[in-house]
Structure 1
Amino acid sequence: MTELREVVVCAPLRTPVGRMGGVLAPLSARDLGVVVLRALLDRTGLDPAAVDGVIGSQGYPTMESPAFGRVAALDAGFPVTTTGYQLDRRCGSGLQAVLNAAMEVQTGVSDVVVALGAESMSNAPIYTEQGRRGVSPGGLMLHDALARGRETVGGVNFPTPEGNVGSAELLRADYGISREAQDAFALQSHRRAVAAQQSGAFGAELVPVEVPGRRGPVVVDRDEHPRADTTLDALGALRPILGRGDPDATVTAGNSSGQNDAAAACVVTTPERAAELGLDPALRLVSWAVAGNDPLRFGVAPVPAANLALQRAGIGFDDLDVIELNEAFAVQVLACLADWGVDAEDPRLNPQGSGISIGHPIGATGIRILATLAHELPALDGELALETMCIGGGQALAAVFARA
């Protein structure tokens, strides 16, 4: 077998992250994806004809953009010779797009691949599966894709009737994690994200988005989700989501990730091809791993995934300069940290916030995190970073990247 080629990530970019129903809501996932793809070409000077394919990740697609990567590429001005497809590994979709691109490049199937992640949770479909069979006397059952996907992600053998929140509450009970600890972590996340905004730390990775409005277009150039005004008292006043049925419930909207809109993209290629195309590598892929666990406790799946990725890289947590663990829930992060023996206030952990503060646009999150850590590493004079995230349904992805 031919030796696998080295893989680098170039020009990871992202749009601002919008709140559910917020400033980016008028735009579809495809609209956001097209914006970031065009910016990628503009900022790098990359000839779109040099791109073999675009892998598009999206968690809540519609048939307005089938084979999402291909449609977004065509709308962004890529030639018809640029192939594309769509993937869904839920919360890990964006990172999986990068890893799929890496495997194509490593094996020589492709030389240059763009990984794209996009999500408009504000526009997630409301759907029916009954319409083609006629309308029953009781009418059609409409499903909210956001809620339904969280209930069905474990299939018939591993039901998750209370969705991701119910899974988070199980971890709270398993690990004995208090409401106070969760709220304190959420506050830390917001403070770090707001500090990053105020210092301009996100500037190089952000692509402004023009949104149509009644009084003309509005340019959105900063994340909408971080809250500068949040406090422990404000977080403590929020009611637990499952509080009516569980008096011990602790998971609130404030200590959970947001439902958001955004897109992100990067170029995946070899160091040699990057040099030929005038691209500056930002990161080098060192290793990665995927793991599965009980869908009811999916939040701690990053533990085996990260452990395996680190083992394959021949390093440990002490060797890492940045640890990017997506914040699906504060309780889920705290459970993982307990298993790893990492302190919740470790400055290497999500130095600029994560899902609780920046937001969690499902299909885009993996590449959003990649764009952030690509700029964090040199800013911190670091060399190695871990990116990992839990995935609804009982999975997790983890990847080790080195500063290129």
Structure 2
Amino acid sequence: MTELREVVICSPLRTPVGRMGGSLAAVSALELATTVLRAVIERSGIDPAAVDGVIAAQGYPTMEAPAFGRVAALDAGLPVTATGYQLDRRCGSGLQAVLNAAMEVQTGVSDVVMALGAESMSNAPFYTVEGRRGLPPGGLLLHDALARGRETVGGRDHPTPDGNVGTAETLRAEYGISREAQDALALRSHQRAVAAQESGAFDAELVAVEVPGRRGPTRVDRDEHPRADTSLEALASLRAVLSRSDAAATVTAGNSSGQNDAAAAAIVTTPGRAAELGLVPMLRLRSWAVTGNEPERFGVAPVSASNLALRRAGLGFDDLDLIELNEAFAVQVLACLADWGVDAEDPRLNPRGSGISIGHPIGATGLRMLATLAHELPALDGSLALETMCIGGGQGLAAVFERV
């Protein structure tokens, strides 16, 4: 078997993250995707003809852009020789796009692949599965893709009728995690994200988006989700989502990730090909792992995935300079940290915020985290980073990256 080639990541960039129905709501996932792809091409200086293909992650697709990666490649101005497809590993999709690209490059199937993640949760479809059989009595039932996906992601034998929130409450009960601890983590997340915004720490990774409007386009160049005005008192005042059915419920909109709009992309190639094309690698992929667990407690799946990825890299948590753990829910983060023995206030953990503060645009999150991570490492004078996340339906995904 041919030895696997080394893989590096170049020019990871992202759009700002918009709130649900907020500043980017008028922009489709495809438009977000083409915006960030064009920016990666322009800032990296890569010859578009050198790109073999685009692997795109999207959690809530429509047939407005089928085989999303291919359509995004064409609309972004890549030549017709650039292939493309889409994938869905739910919350891990963006990182999985990078890893799929890495596997193509490692095995020699491709030399240069653009990994893409995009989501417009503001425009997630409503759909019916009944319309082709005629109009049923009472009319057609429209499903909200956002809500329905959370209810069905465990399949027939692992129902999650209360969606992801219900699984988060399962962990709260199992680990004995208080509402106060969850709100404290959420507040830290917002404080860190706001501090990063104010210091300009995000500037190098951001690509502005032009949003059309009746009075002309508006330029969005700043994450919309972080809240400078939140406080422990404000967070404590929010009602738990499942409080009507569970008096002990603690998970609120304030200590959970947002529903958001964004896109992110990066170039995946070999060091040699990067040098030939004049690209500047930022990260080297050291190892990765994906694991499964019960869909009803998927929030702790990063534990097994991260442990395996670290073991494959010959590393432990003490070797890491940065831990990027997506904040699907504060309770889920705290449960993972308890299993790892990592303090919730560890400065290596999400130093510029994460899903609770920056937001969680499902298909884009993994690449958004990668773009942030790539720019954090040099700022922290660090060399090794872990990126990991839980995935609805009972999966965890993790990757170890090394600063180049």
| TM-score normalised by the chain length of structure 2 | 1.00
SS at match of 2:253: coil
Structure 1 residue 45: deviation in Å? 1.1
Query: Which deviations, in whole Å up to 9, do the C-alpha atoms of 1:282-312 show, x marking residues without a partner?
Result: 0000000000000000000000000000000
Matched with 1:345 is 345
Match of 2:279 in 1: 279
In structure 1, what is the equivalent of residue 154 of structure 2? 154
Q: Residue 306 of structure 2: SS of its match in structure 1?
A: helix
**2:303 aligned with 1:295:** no
1:50 paired with 2:45, answer no
Q: How far apart, CA to CA, are the structure 2 residues paired with 1:47 and 1:63?
A: 30
Q: Could you say which residue in structure 2 is the equivalent of 1:362?
A: 362
| Residue identity in the other structure for 1:122 | S
Q: Superposition pairs for residues 252-263 of structure 1, below 5 Å?
A: 252-263=252-263
Give a deviation string over 1:337-375, Cα, whole Å, max 9, x none.
000000000000000000000000000000000000000
Rounded to whole Å, the distance in 2 between the matches of 1:48 and 1:56 is 17
How many residues are aligned here?
404
> Secondary structure of 1:146's partner?
helix
AA matched with 1:60: Y
Distance 2:292 2:403 in 1: 28
Distance in structure 1 (CA, Å) of the matches to 2:340 and 2:129 = 43
Name the residue aligned to 1:203. Answer: 203
Deviation at 1:137, TM superposition (A): 1.8
Dislocated runs of 4+, deviation >2 Å: none
Shift of 1:215: 1.1
Which whole-Å CA distance do the structure 2 matches of 1:135 and 1:20 have between them?
32
2:136 maps to what in 1? 136
Determine whether 1:17 maps to 2:17.
yes
Q: Secondary structure at the match of 2:324?
A: strand
Give the match for residue 85 of structure 2. Answer: 85
Counterpart of 1:311, as a letter, is R
- Summarize deviations over 1:37-59 as a string: whole Å, max 9, x none: 01111111111110000001000
Partner deviation per Cα, 1:79-128 (whole Å, 9 max, x = no partner): 11000000000000000000000000000000000000000000000000
Equivalent position of 1:182 in the other structure: 182
Q: Which ranges in structure 2 are unaligned for 5 or more consecutive residues?
A: none
Matched, 1:29 2:26: no
> Quick one: which amino acid aligns to residue 300 of structure 1?
V
One-letter amino acid matched to 1:309: A
Q: Give 2:328's aligned residue.
A: 328
2:366 is the alignment partner of 1:401? no
Q: Does 1:213 align with 2:195?
A: no
Offset at 1:136?
A: 1.1
Q: CA RMSD in A?
A: 0.3
Q: Which runs of 5+ in 1 are unaligned?
A: none
* CA distance in structure 2 between the partners assigned to 1:120 and 1:137 by the alignment: 33
SS in 2 for 1:352: coil
Query: How many Å separate the matches in 2 of 1:80 and 1:164?
Result: 40
Tell me how far 1:247 sits from its aligned partner: 0.3
Question: Could you say what secondary structure the match of 1:148 adopts?
Answer: helix
- AA at the equivalent of 2:319: D
**Which secondary structure does the structure 2 equivalent of 1:327 belong to?**
coil
What is the percentage of aligned positions where both structures have the same residue?
A: 82
Asked if 1:251 corresponds to 2:251, the answer is: yes
Question: Which letter maps to 2:179?
Answer: R
Q: CA deviation at 1:75?
A: 0.4
| Aligned-residue offset at 1:214 | 1.6
Give the match for residue 230 of structure 2. 230
1:383-402 CA-partner distances (Å, limit 9, x unpaired): 00000000000001000000
Counterpart of 1:301 in 2: which secondary structure? Answer: helix
Corresponding letter in the other structure for 2:14: R
State the SS of the aligned residue for 2:229.
Answer: coil
Report the TM-score, using the length of structure 1 for normalisation.
1.00
Where 2:400 maps in the other structure, the secondary structure is: strand
Find the residue that maps to 1:228 and give its secondary structure: coil
Distance in 1, Cα, partners of 2:150 & 2:123: 17
Cα distance per residue 1:221-255 (max 9 Å; x no partner): 00000000000000000000000000000000000
**Residue identity matched to 1:388:** T
Matched, 1:66 2:66: yes
Map residues 112-127 of structure 1 onto 2, 5 A cutoff.
Answer: 112-127=112-127
Q: Tell me what 1:193 maps to.
A: 193
1:176-232 deviations in Å (ceiling 9; x for gaps):
000000000000000000000000000000000000112110000000000000000
